[in-house]
Amino acid sequence: MTDKGILIVVSGFSGAGKGTLMRKLLETYDNYALSVSMTTRKPREGERHGVEYFFASKEEFEKKIAEDKLIEYACYCDNYYGTPREYVEEQLEAGKDVILEIEIQGALKIKERFPDSLLLFVTPPNAKELERRLVGRGTETPEVIAKRLSRASEESEGIEAYDYIVVNDDLEECVKQLHSIVINAHYAPNRCAEFINQIREELKEFSKGAN
Amino acid sequence: MTDKGILIVVSGFSGAGKGTLMRKLLETYDNYALSVSMTTRKPREGERHGVEYFFASKEEFEKKIAEDKLIEYACYCDNYYGTPREYVEEQLEAGKDVILEIEIQGALKIKERFPDSLLLFVTPPNAKELERRLVGRGTETPEVIAKRLSRASEESEGIEAYDYIVVNDDLEECVKQLHSIVINAHYAPNRCAEFINQIREELKEFSKGAN
């Protein structure tokens, strides 16, 4: 329906499976582009610059802020995270639905600046499953897991700010649901101004002709 | 996700194919119940009392209004049209997604009284196609067609009040799209209060345990 892409914000509890979900979504459908965030946190094992994140120093990051080259940024666990503007705007213009995987502070800023953005919150079917997944990763210390669960509890207070909840129980089903939410979102009137105006003009002409 | 059904309002231009679409939707999926409107207009050829409409006299209709037994009503082309309350409430409680096929005045009243209702506007892909379908019916006089086109032009001014536009080009595709909009709507946070509260409570317990 719309020619322009939708700016999609995907948030969710750490351990909800956002990463796998995004990977699968991008593999399966070709209407998406994934925005790569910039961060000042250290790369984890296996993370590559420009793929998982653009890694930057605090000074570099603050220069980007000063030059208004980030559409949002936030501080989380003592590190900056932000979204470079240029790539997002290029992809939206090209008709791609652009996914930002960011946490709630950033999501709210995006909604404020881009009211037509679509906010999705990914959650496992229940908290027990979230804990199981965090423990199952085997990469985090008990302190980190405790911190993430406590963080999840805080984050859950913000769910109402999102447009849809995406329950990640079965991966395949979840990818399909997410995709159908995005496809449908193209048919919300605020994203179809061109179509609406055209049909209005045509109807005006026809009812003139008919009278 | 939600246990309770969604109140769905379907409007659209006369000739957009709402009737066929609703019939197909109800045949294909079992989560829907179609509300039967009450009207004071004369039955058309083949219309049955209690199926297409409950036909009533002006006096009977006004008694229903006085007794608050209609969740909305409106006057259109000198006839009353309204939605009997009892059936709708029963079906929603039973978990059915209840469809009201009503025009814009009624749709706006429903949204006001039931903010969690879902408003869908059905349209053909363009105005030319709408005219073609109205003429193709062969049941209407040129004056009636002209009146309907003029009415459609007025109605098009209200599209922004709806949550989604449903383009009825290919019937099968359209039924699928409509159904997926409804399924997704069950995952909007305002319709998932129970799920959200439960996961919040669980997370609170876990983060207590973890600290």
Which of B162, B184, B210 minimises the CB distance to A150? B210
Q: What local confidence, expressed as pLDDT, does residue A2 receive?
A: 66
B207 and A150 within 8 Å at the Cβ level: the answer is yes
Eight-class DSSP state of B158: G
* pLDDT attached to residue B103: 85
Predicted local distance difference test score (pLDDT) of residue B106 = 87
- In the predicted model, what is the mean pLDDT of residues A76-97? 92
Comparing A61-70, A84-93, B127-136, B169-178, the range with the smallest average pLDDT is: B127-136
CB atoms near residue A1 (< 10 Å): 14
Which residues numbered 191-210 in A keep a CB inside 8 Å of some CB on B?
192, 195-196, 198-200, 202-207, 210
pLDDT in tens, A17-50: 898 999 999 999 999 999 999 999 999 999 999 8
Q: Which of A83-97, A197-211, B184-198 has the lowest mean pLDDT?
A: A197-211
pLDDT-above-90 percentage for chain A: 72
Flag if A127 and B153 touch (Cβ within 8 Å).
no
pLDDT at A132: 86
In which band, very low, low, confident or very high, does the pLDDT at A98 lie, cut at 50, 70 and 90? very high
In chain A, the residue whose alpha carbon lies closest to the alpha carbon of B159 is A189
- In the predicted model, residues of chain B with pLDDT beneath 70 are 1-2, 209-211
Sequence spans of domains, chain B: 7-35+97-210
Is the pLDDT at A209 greater than 70, yes or no? no
Q: What is the mean pLDDT of residues A169-183?
A: 95
Residue bearing the bigger pLDDT, B57 or A76: B57
Query: What value does the mean pLDDT of chain A take?
Result: 91
Q: What residue of A is the nearest CA neighbor of B151?
A: A207
Cα–Cα distance, B147 to B13 (Å, whole number): 12
pLDDT value of position A207: 76
Mode of pairing for the β-strands spanning B53-55 and A7-12: unpaired
Per-residue confidence (pLDDT) for residue B68, from 0 to 100: 95
**Contact by Cβ (8 Å): B203, A12:** no
User: In this structure, are strands A79-84 and A38-39 parallel, antiparallel, or unpaired?
Assistant: antiparallel
What residues of B are in contact with residue A1 (Cβ under 8 Å)? 165, 167
A187 in contact with chain B, both atoms CB, cutoff 8 A: yes
Q: Is the ipTM of this complex over 0.90?
A: no
Confidence (pTM): 0.89
pLDDT for the residue numbered B1? 66
Q: Give the long-range contacts of residues A50-58, CB within 8 A, separation 24 or more.
A: A54/A84
* B166 in A contact zone (CB under 8 Å): yes
Tell me which chain B residues have a C-beta less than 8 angstroms from the C-beta of A153.
200, 203-204, 206-207
Identify the architecture of domain A7-35+97-210 in CATH: 3-Layer(aba) Sandwich (3.40)
Q: Is the dihedral of CA B16, B19, B24, B30 positive or negative?
A: positive
Residue B26 CA from chain centroid, whole number: 13
Is any Cβ of chain A less than 8 angstroms from the Cβ of B36? no
**Cβ of B184 and A177 within 8 Å?**
yes
Chain segment A117-151, per-residue pLDDT in tens? 999 999 999 888 888 888 877 777 888 888 888 88
